[in-house]
Structure 1
């Protein structure tokens, strides 16, 4: 296999492959990044073209969609007949564009989304989301499962990116909520570490509610008994308390606007999960 791009993630992926006994060729714009990998047993290619020609599986881990084209467009002839595994972060539309570009040139394309930070690669909790060519996934699966638990979503090359970004969206909003809470208690002399000790078990317990929300959403019935109503979920008291603490209310304002939109449409007695309708149909 060959790895193009030896940044924080690409370098770790290549190192894991070398440790697992894969014959690994590496290339990076800044050649110095390959030195440690060569010491471990990798082969450094002086050009991206030589790296591609040296392996049947080519892994690309670059900065963005534009950089993938910048590196690969002049070398598309060398890629023909090979398997291209792109783990560069891209949008679903960009992944589909790359899949079409690859198919037109006889390249098997697999798009990958890595749900892990570099230190997690090869460890429990690392997940690799994949979509695109089924044949390419079959060839890459043994390697992918060395890096993390691989999951294949089918031939639509954009699905791995879609899942990846949707899960990251959930994570960032959760992190923003934690940081808002830490900012709220800070004026009272509570450290962020102390607050984290309270927040982690609480938020972990609350994830148990995902299945219930999902059942309501998939069932398309926000009136099911037992749900917390939107009227009860009014966050005015949290907004007020945040303002009293002298902090920004932007994080809570966002949720409050989603709630208020559904209440104003006459759905105040429906369950909290109904705010997904505000998200799906933005104001």
Structure 2
């Protein structure tokens, strides 16, 4: 009998399987396209043509299939084989997606754990990957061989919907950084600046980003945006001039333009002396107004 079965051997699933094999675990694999699963035989995996056999081969089944609908379909087809096992689902979706899969797995008599990998596939098993887990604690404890092999485990508790919420928080920062890098690197290139100059500017910005994020988040969480030593009006002036610089260099739709417009609206609404976190209330007000408008349209 294998230690763990990996269902879905795309980029993430294949690397997951080899990382577990490198740690000395016996790994069974299955993929809808059999060739992908059988390609892992040379690394020591045990491929199965039958999903039912693959599921029954291990006490732990890890799904790395994109999307909850596909995962739900796979699990439904092998429901009898799930009893007594722990199923780990790794995908991105809504709380309803997670809850639906959890109900299916638990009704089949299996334990359910939700997981998300905060890394690229090649980082699995290297110590550079943070992995979030949530679900029944006894089921999570049964994953000890897997979590130790992969490293970077953080258990968030029994609420399985927390994993995708935490993922959304992390990925928001990730794409904000990626977007900012693309736009600022484009500006540097348009000005003919060397890469070293861009890297220097980035290091200067990153020096206090943790303190800034912590401060802004604290104000947003408390809902308090009183007078600030660095008020929204100053941010508006900075955003206005910097957005113009981007426009002058052929980048008219940067994130800074969006922030400039939001700051402009905030100042126009009388929040010029407030902390920049007041923009969170502006967005909330807009959503509430839209909801009110929709409600009036239904009446």
Verify same fold: TM over 0.5: yes
The answer to whether structure 1 residue 111 and structure 2 residue 114 are counterparts is yes
Name the counterpart of 2:168.
Answer: 165
Name the counterpart of 1:29.
Answer: 32
Map 1:44-83 to 2 at 5 A.
44-83=47-86
Closer/same/farther in 2, CA of residues 7 and 281 from structure 1, 3 Å limit: farther
C-alpha displacement of 1:68: 0.6
Map 1:168-187 to 2 at 5 A.
168-187=171-190
248, 253, 256: which one aligns with 1:252: 256
Closer/same/farther in 2, CA of residues 159 and 43 from structure 1, 3 Å limit: same
270, 278, 281: which one aligns with 1:274: 278
Q: Distance in 1 between matches of 2:99 and 2:283?
A: 25
Deviations along 1:176-222, whole A, 9 cap, x unmatched?
A: 1121112223222235x345412431342132222222333334332
Q: Secondary structure at the match of 1:128?
A: strand
The answer to whether structure 1 residue 197 and structure 2 residue 230 are counterparts is no
C-alpha displacement of 1:263: 2.4
C-alpha displacement of 1:281: 4.5
C-alpha displacement of 1:142: 3.6
13, 16, 25: which one aligns with 2:16: 13
Q: Which structure 1 segments of 5+ residues have no match?
A: none
Farther-moved stretch of structure 1 (126-135 vs 263-272): 263-272
C-alpha displacement of 1:67: 1.3
Q: Distance in 1 between matches of 2:31 and 2:205?
A: 41
Q: Distance in 2 between matches of 1:195 and 1:95?
A: 45
Map 1:117-266 to 2 at 5 A.
117-190=120-193, 193-194=195-196, 196-208=198-210, 209-223=212-226, 225-226=228-229, 228-234=230-236, 235-266=239-270
Q: Which structure 2 segments of 5+ residues have no match?
A: 288-299
Closer/same/farther in 2, CA of residues 61 and 253 from structure 1, 3 Å limit: same
Q: Secondary structure at the match of 1:103?
A: helix
RMSD value, Cα: 2.0
TM-score, normalised to structure 1's length?
Answer: 0.91
Q: Distance in 2 between matches of 1:115 and 1:199?
A: 26
Matched residues, number: 281
Q: Distance in 1 between matches of 2:272 and 2:145?
A: 51
Closer/same/farther in 2, CA of residues 280 and 152 from structure 1, 3 Å limit: farther
C-alpha displacement of 1:3: 0.3
Instruction: Verify the 8 A CA contact 1:61 1:86 in the aligned structure 2.
Output: yes
Q: Distance in 1 between matches of 2:163 and 2:67?
A: 16
Farther-moved stretch of structure 1 (92-101 vs 166-175): 92-101
Instruction: Verify the 8 A CA contact 1:128 1:150 in the aligned structure 2.
Output: yes
C-alpha displacement of 1:224: 6.1
Q: Distance in 2 between matches of 1:130 and 1:204?
A: 29
Q: Secondary structure at the match of 1:6?
A: coil
Instruction: Verify the 8 A CA contact 1:141 1:150 in the aligned structure 2.
Output: no
Closer/same/farther in 2, CA of residues 56 and 281 from structure 1, 3 Å limit: farther
